Amino acid sequence: MQDKQNEKTKIEKSKESVEKEINSILQLLGKIVNDKSQNIKRGEQEYESIKEFIVKIRNEIDKHLTHLEKKIYQEADTILNQEKSKATDLIAEIEGKQKNLKKMQDQLHTVIPHTSKLQSFLGIHQIEQQVHQCQRYIDDLEKDDRAKEFTIKMEKNNETEKIIKKLGSLGELTVVKSDMDLNKETGVRREAQVESQEQSNINNMTINIENKIQINIREISDMICLMDGRLIIVEWVDNVNLLTPDGKLLKPLPIPGDAFGVTQINQDTIAITYPKEKAIKIFNMENETVTKVITLDKGCWGLSSSDDSLVVGLIHDEISIIDLEGNTLKSIQVECKSNLYNLVYCKQIWQYKQDLSEPYGLCTDTYGNIIVADSKSHRIIVISKDGKESKVLLSDGLKYPTCICLKQNESSGFICDDYGKNLTKFNLSSG
């Protein structure tokens, strides 16, 4: 009888486990559908942006061509008027010569019949002299620039053809693929994680430094790796800065106020704490706008996120879990000597006090282990996910490490040291 009861209990537990697994998968599939729907909307917006870009280029080209057209018309008009004036003057001058020649011809017909021989000789000689003058005038016309035939030609600018050939395309269209965020803990993943205890054993973990980058940002309060590989670095109660995946500063984000902590909610959205305002601001990375402001009753510092909820450190004695509308889901009272500057979300709660001088930056690896930037000891320490074991990963080469972050689902990341002067790229290995 007891065996049957135990068997029934096992079946019920198995049923509950499968049901949880189905719900988890359904939630994940729903997220994929939602993400792809948002992806389509972004694609449509990008398509419209490309059309606007082409129209802008066309308008600029048309404007410039209209200017060049007007300029060449003015030049051609000036040249034509000058040549027409010269030709008209020459025609009027020649017509005057023609009239004089006709008069001489009439005089020649009347000289002989009505005058004496002497008068006829003198008259013909006078006419002859005038004819010779006309002949010299015609001879001189060969040297007169006005008598030359003019042709108005436009010499083509070879650069125009070169530009047209080079402008074979206004740009190249590409599709950039990025991995979807499927980092949801289903039952399958949990079982796999249990089976891979050796891989998550911190005793086998090592850290390798790749290179250092000088950034010279003022003292840093928080740093995260975004899903697309870029970095967000927050200056202490100041700007929120966006960096490239290789650590180069792109720009400060246009968010008003004095920021402190930052976390990513989804592909396009981050959240930032503003202690002086007692507020969390939700910021859309694509549109670069603050979409929501959540006001709190205490100064807010460290920030983390999980499953459409935010975990925020309120002063030094409370960790609050809230939804994205600002409703409190859970409040945890804690005892802390300083403000809750840095938080990472995990399912276990434990306390670790051993061998730490000034722990500051925090992040978790893919197995849930906590990696700590212990500032005053100039070390990087890893603590097992249950808080029972620890190991020094790095104790040389860093000066006051303040923040540390890992890329999404990867073993590489960045450490900020010397209060914001350097960014150190590293890799973790578990073998």
pLDDT of amino acid 166: 67
Per residue in 402-428, pLDDT (tens digit) is 999 999 888 899 999 877 888 999 999
Strand 309-314: give its sheet, edge to edge. Answer: 300-306, 309-314, 318-323, 328-333
pLDDT of amino acid 285: 93
Q: Tokens 């007692």 sit at which residue?
A: 278
pLDDT of amino acid 177: 59
Per residue in 128-148, pLDDT (tens digit) is 888 788 888 888 877 888 888
Instruction: Name the amino acid, one letter, at 383.
Output: I
Per residue in 169-225, pLDDT (tens digit) is 666 666 665 666 555 443 333 333 433 444 458 888 999 999 899 887 878 999 999
Provide the H-helix boundaries in 142-186: 158-166
Token pair for 98: 């023609």
pLDDT of amino acid 39: 85
Half-sphere exposure of 150 (CA within 13 A, CB side): 15
pLDDT of amino acid 190: 38
Give the integer Cα–Cα distance in Å for 210 and 428. Answer: 11
Give the integer Cα–Cα distance in Å for 382 and 363. Answer: 10
pLDDT of amino acid 196: 40
pLDDT of amino acid 186: 39
Residues 6+ apart with CB under 8 A from 415: 361, 373, 380, 398, 401, 403, 404, 423, 424, 426
Of 10-14, 306-310, 320-324, 352-356, the range with the highest mean pLDDT is 320-324
Mean pLDDT for the chain overall? 83
Mean per-residue pLDDT, 231-260: 92
- Minimum mean pLDDT range among 50-54, 55-59, 225-229, 336-340: 336-340
pLDDT of amino acid 419: 76
pLDDT at 358 over 70: yes
pLDDT at 348 over 60: yes
pLDDT of amino acid 171: 61
